[in-house]
Amino acid sequence: MHEPLLYITFFSGLVPFCFYVYFICKMGGLPNLQPAVPFLWLTLIGSLYEPIVTIGMGKDSMYWFRVYNAAEFLCLYYFFKHVIHKRYLLLFGSFLFFFTLNSLMVVILGIGQLRVESMYAPFIFIFVLTFSALWFRDTSKNDLLPAKFAKSNVVFICGFLLYYSGTLFFYLLSEVILVDSKSISYQDYWLVNIIATLILKIFLIGGVWSGRKI
């Protein structure tokens, strides 16, 4: 079950970006999808890198995950900063400062990847939850964004919320379960992340599809 589902997840990561390129070629510019473009690029690269380099070529994935962690935060930072129309700059700056500080600490201290994930997961969850709540509050109370921009953003944000809340305890407990207690196999435990990632990619597809009309 693990391997077919894994490759389905990899393939699904190609679809959002392919849809985006198709709609760009067919309709021209799609400014309502612009905030999500870096995340779509990252999803495409990750969906190609892991099966080709990590699995196919057998390369160590640790450095890839370190790069991915930083790129993932920056893509989410870009997304929320643009959908919120560059408001809450002090709050954005605070998150960026603490993320940079945390990243430097990881590099200097040489912290293991499972522990890095357990540090990163709550930080990114709080970031996504905070700015998702601010976006929903602003758009519902003040009607700051036109309706044509809101639909795709709702889909993307719901996907982010589901994924990062669903994987929060997965990453928090990974070191305890896999290393300390060894109560479950690595493959069985990683199945949780595969399913959550597949759900996120389905939401990305839905977000691109719903944002195809200007």
Q: pLDDT digits over 163-177, tens only?
A: 999 888 878 777 666
The sign of the torsion formed by the CA atoms of 132, 134, 137, 141 equals negative
pLDDT value, residue 184: 58
Helices (H) and strands (E) in the chain, counts: 10, 0
Q: Which two tokens stand for residue 141?
A: 């109370």
- What lies within 8 Å, CB to CB, of 27 at 6+ separation is 212, 214
User: In this structure, how many other beta carbons lie within 10 angstroms of the beta carbon of residue 151?
Assistant: 14
pLDDT value, residue 179: 61
pLDDT value, residue 113: 72
Alpha carbon distance 154, 136 (integer Å): 9
pLDDT value, residue 182: 57
pLDDT value, residue 214: 55
CA 194 to chain centre: 13
pLDDT value, residue 139: 82
Q: Which two tokens stand for residue 125?
A: 């969850």
pLDDT value, residue 201: 97
pLDDT value, residue 151: 81
Residue 202's nearest CA partner among 27, 6, 56, 16 is 16
pLDDT value, residue 31: 80
Task: Please check whether residue 134 is in contact with residue 180, taking contact to mean a CB–CB distance below 8 angstroms.
Answer: no
| Domain extent at residue 179 | 2-210
Instruction: Give pTM, 2 decimals.
Output: 0.90
- What lies within 8 Å, CB to CB, of 210 at 6+ separation is 151, 152, 155
Residue 102's nearest CA partner among 86, 83, 123 is 123
pLDDT value, residue 30: 80
**141 three-state secondary structure:** helix
The residues of the chain scoring below 50 in pLDDT are 148
- What lies within 8 Å, CB to CB, of 64 at 6+ separation is 49, 50, 53, 54
Instruction: Supply angle C-alpha 207, 89, 153, rounded to 5.
Output: 10
Number of domains present in the structure of the chain? 1
pLDDT value, residue 188: 65
**169 three-state secondary structure:** helix
